[in-house]
Amino acid sequence: MSAAIVELMPASVRCTGLAIAYNAAIGCFGGTTPLIATWLITATGNPIMPAYWVAATATVTLVTAIFLVRETRFASLR
């Protein structure tokens, strides 16, 4: 994961871009996870529902990684 994240940013803005992206994601998704998990259990009555939610988000991540992230193996580092 770390190598993929580094390849998404140009070298000139890598530190700032990664810091902003990481902190925004943790703030938005990490902070709301307990709320969403509790709501899913309450709304459905199924205590396993958060696992389905995690599986769905993992599927979205996989599709994004396969189709939207370009290969940079032979690209210049500049």
User: What is the length of the chain?
Assistant: 78
Tokens of 66: 């396969």
pTM to 2 decimal places: 0.66
* Confidence band for 3, pLDDT divided at 50, 70 and 90: confident
Q: What is the DSSP string of 13-69?
A: GHHHHHHHHHHHHIIIIIHHHHHHHHHHHHHH--TTHHHHHHHHHHHHHHHHHHHTS
Tens of pLDDT along 9-59?
788 888 898 889 889 989 888 889 899 999 999 999 999 999 999 999 899
